[in-house]
Amino acid sequence: MVRFVRLLEREPLREVRNVHPAYCSVLVKFDALRWTHAELEAALRERLARLGSVPLPAARVVEIPACYEDVYAPDMAEICARRGWPAERVMALHTAASYQVYFLGFVPGFAYLGELPEELAEARLATPRRQVPAGSVAIAGRQTAVYPFATPGGWRLIGRTPMRMFRAGDGGSSVLAIGDRVRFRAISAAEFVELEKTWR
Amino acid sequence: MAVIRVIEPGMFTTVQDLGREGYGAMGVSPSGAADALSLRIGNRLAGNGEGAAGLEMTLVGGAFEFSEPGTIALTGADFAPSLDGVAVEMWRSCEVRAGQTLRMGGTRDGARGYLCVRGGIAVAEVMGSASTHVLSGMGGFAGRSLRRGDVLQVGTQNRANRLASGQAGAQQPCARSSPGKAAPLQGHGPRILSTAGRKLVRARKKLRVTVGPQSDWFGPAAPRRFYGNAYRVTEESNRMGLRLVGPVVEKLPRGEMISEGVALGAIQVPESGMPIILFVEQQTTGGYPTMANVISADFHSLGQLRPRHEITFQVVNWEMARGLLREQEELLASDDALFG
Architecture of domain A61-199: Beta Barrel (2.40)
A2-53 folds as Gyrase A; domain 2 (3.30.1360)
Q: Cα–Cα distance between B27 and B284 in angstroms, integer?
A: 6
Residue B339 falls within a domain, yes or no? no
Using DSSP's 3-state secondary structure scheme, residue B303 falls into coil
Domain final residue pick, B166, B193, B220: B193
Which residue positions in chain B have pLDDT lower than 50?
158-172, 177-186
CB contact under 8 A, A110 and B27: yes
Give the per-residue pLDDT at B271.
86
Give the per-residue pLDDT at B282.
96
Using DSSP's 3-state secondary structure scheme, residue B223 falls into helix
Give A167-179 as a DSSP string.
E-TTT-EES--TT
Q: Are residues B40 and B81 in the same domain?
A: yes
Residue B103 falls within a domain, yes or no? yes
Q: Where are the domains of chain A?
A: 2-53, 61-199
- Environment class of residue B42 by beta-carbon count within 10 Å: exposed (0-12), middle (13-18) or buried (19+)? buried
Q: Are residues B170 and B279 in the same domain?
A: no
Q: Are B22 and B142 in contact (CB under 8 A)?
A: no
Confidence of residue A171 (pLDDT cuts 50, 70, 90): confident
Q: Are residues B164 and B19 in the same domain?
A: yes
Give the per-residue pLDDT at A170.
72
CB contact under 8 A, B143 and A168: yes
The pLDDT tens digits for B122-178 are 999 999 999 999 999 999 999 999 999 999 999 985 443 443 333 444 444 565 544
Confidence of residue A126 (pLDDT cuts 50, 70, 90): confident
Give B121-155 as a DSSP string.
EE---BTTB---BTTTTBSTTTTS---TT-EEEEP
Task: State the ipTM, two decimals.
Answer: 0.91
CB contact under 8 A, B261 and A22: yes
Counted domains in chain B? 2
CB contact under 8 A, B285 and A151: no
**Looking at chain B, how many residues does it have?**
340
Q: What is the mean pLDDT of chain A?
A: 94
Residue B340 falls within a domain, yes or no? no
Q: Cα–Cα distance between A171 and B20 in angstroms, integer?
A: 10
**What are phi and psi for residue A87, nearest 5 degrees?**
-60, -30
Q: What residues of chain B lie within 8 A of the CB of A104, using their CB?
A: 25-27, 284
Distance of CA A162 to CAs A108, A126, A174, A200, Å? 17, 27, 14, 8
Residue-range definition of the domain harbouring residue B114 = 3-193
A68–B contact, CB cutoff 8 A: no
Q: Are residues B176 and B323 in the same domain?
A: no
CB contact under 8 A, A27 and B127: no
Q: Cα–Cα distance between A83 and A85 in angstroms, integer?
A: 5
Once rounded to an integer, what is the mean pLDDT over residues A14-29? 94
Q: What residues of chain A lie within 8 A of the CB of B24, using their CB?
A: 18-21, 27, 29
Domain of B306, CATH number, reads 2.40.100.10
Residue B38 falls within a domain, yes or no? yes
Q: Nearest Cα to B2, choosing from B129, B186, B108, B155?
A: B155
H/E segment holding residue A65: strand A61-66
Nearest-Cα distance to chain A for B287, in Å, is: 10
Q: What is the DSSP letter of A115?
A: P
Q: Are residues B105 and B69 in the same domain?
A: yes
Residue B32 falls within a domain, yes or no? yes
Question: Residues A132, B233, B199, B42: what is their CA dihedral angle, to the nearest 10 degrees?
Answer: -30
Distance of CA B269 to CAs B120, B243, B276, B288, Å? 38, 10, 6, 6
Residue B13 falls within a domain, yes or no? yes
What's the whole-model pTM score?
0.92
Q: Are residues B52 and B90 in the same domain?
A: yes
Q: Are residues B153 and B39 in the same domain?
A: yes
Percent of chain A with pLDDT over 90: 86
Q: Residue A151 CB: number of other CB atoms within 10 A? A: 21
Confidence of residue A127 (pLDDT cuts 50, 70, 90): confident
Q: Does residue A2 or residue B144 have the better pLDDT? A: B144
Residue B274 falls within a domain, yes or no? yes
Residue B223 falls within a domain, yes or no? yes
A168–B contact, CB cutoff 8 A: yes
Q: Residue A146 CB: number of other CB atoms within 10 A? A: 25
**What are phi and psi for residue B188, nearest 5 degrees?**
-105, 175
Of B135, B284, B296, Cβ closest to residue A20: B284
Check whether A130 has a pLDDT greater than 90: no
Once rounded to an integer, what is the mean pLDDT over residues A55-67? 93
CB contact under 8 A, A166 and B136: yes
Domain final residue pick, B143, B165, B193: B193
Q: Are residues B114 and B233 in the same domain?
A: no
Q: Cα–chain-centroid distance for residue B47?
A: 18
Give B169-212 as a DSSP string.
P-S---BTT----PPPSSSSS--B--HHHHHHHPPPSEEEEEE-
